[in-house]
Amino acid sequence: MSQKQTEQNTPPGNDSAQDTSGRWRGRFSVAPMLDWTDRHCRYFHRLLTRQTLLYTEMVTTGAIIHGKGDYLAYSAEEHPLALQLGGSDPAALAHCARLAEQRGYDEINLNVGCPSDRVQNGRFGACLMAEASLVADCVKAMRDAVSIPVTVKTRIGIDEQDSYAFLCAFIDTVAGRGECDTFIVHARKAWLSGLSPKENREVPPLDYPRVYQLRRDFPALRIAINGGVKTLEEARTHLRQLDGVMMGREAYQNPGVLAQVDRELFNAEAVVPEKADVVQSMYPYIERELARGALLGHITRHMLGLFQGVPGARQWRRHLSENAHKPGADVRVLEQALALVNRRPA
């Protein structure tokens, strides 16, 4: 019997996928974003929200297996944390998933949504939507190798293969043969040629109703949505129909929104962190990373949008942008920038 035909009406349980209250960790998450959601970004985001599921940038199996750096490094404070993998070889993906589990990651996510030429040339990302059986084999290999959840992030279609029937066939194959029970669906199709990755995030129209229908037609699966989510009110609207919401660029460019997530979406009694306190809480981490050879600007670039809408926000951004990359820059740069922000309640 296909996943679409099942009579089950609630998503499957998985202890490692739940928070302490039994709620699915992916109820709200920050999207994996290349060159953005690195270790420093995730540490910063975690100070704003304790409950949000964080994702790494996409890491290829080749980088993990053959690269000279440690592509699985992270700080323990980042949990709950998912590793997004890019690849299409089941054995290599299983090997990397096993390494990630050993390192303590909470989830493995397979990228079936990135449309860039470089990713296509490596035969992974969105182009894999045309090879549902291969995706199923990849997911099954990882599920057999690890006990932590294995999920898939995908689009609603690619090129001319953008019918709802095509999407259902893809989900049915990966859920059935691959035993995948969780899909994060970017509610746009991807054009594999003719559009840049940036244009693919903006030009193809969003189709939220299609993702809602997918949840109704596959009641045994967890379905989360991604694409164009800018406010927590929008997130709440999606959560009336779906199991989870993933926020991307808005969470990065306006990270202050994350400070409200725990109270608004998880626990009405959660404490909302003060932004100035979050900055000061970064100081020990920054000092530790600088001692290891990191550059201040590589950390503070993720913090530029924190005070969006607050008097002095422009001065905060300017001071960090002009001074964080100077030789010898340290936490004093943040102290000076923080003094430029009017932190009194509006």
Binding residues for FMN: 32-34, 84, 153, 186, 226-228, 248-249
| 106 within 8 A of 113, measured Cβ to Cβ | no
* Token output for 329: 């820059």
Residue with tokens 């994996």: 32
138 is catalytic: no
Give dist(CA 114, CA 127) in Å, integer: 8
Q: Which string of DSSP letters, residue by residue, matches 131-176? A: -HHHHHHHHHHHHHH-SS-EEEEEES-BTTB--HHHHHHHHHHHHH
Work out the angle at residue 206's Cα, subtended by the Cα atoms of residues 204 and 210, and round it to the nearest 5 degrees.
120
* Token output for 44: 């910063």
| 223 within 8 A of 174, measured Cβ to Cβ | no
Q: Which amino acid is at 122?
A: G
| 151 within 8 A of 109, measured Cβ to Cβ | yes
| 54 within 8 A of 46, measured Cβ to Cβ | yes
Catalytic residue among 41, 114, 127, 180: 114
Catalytic residues: 114
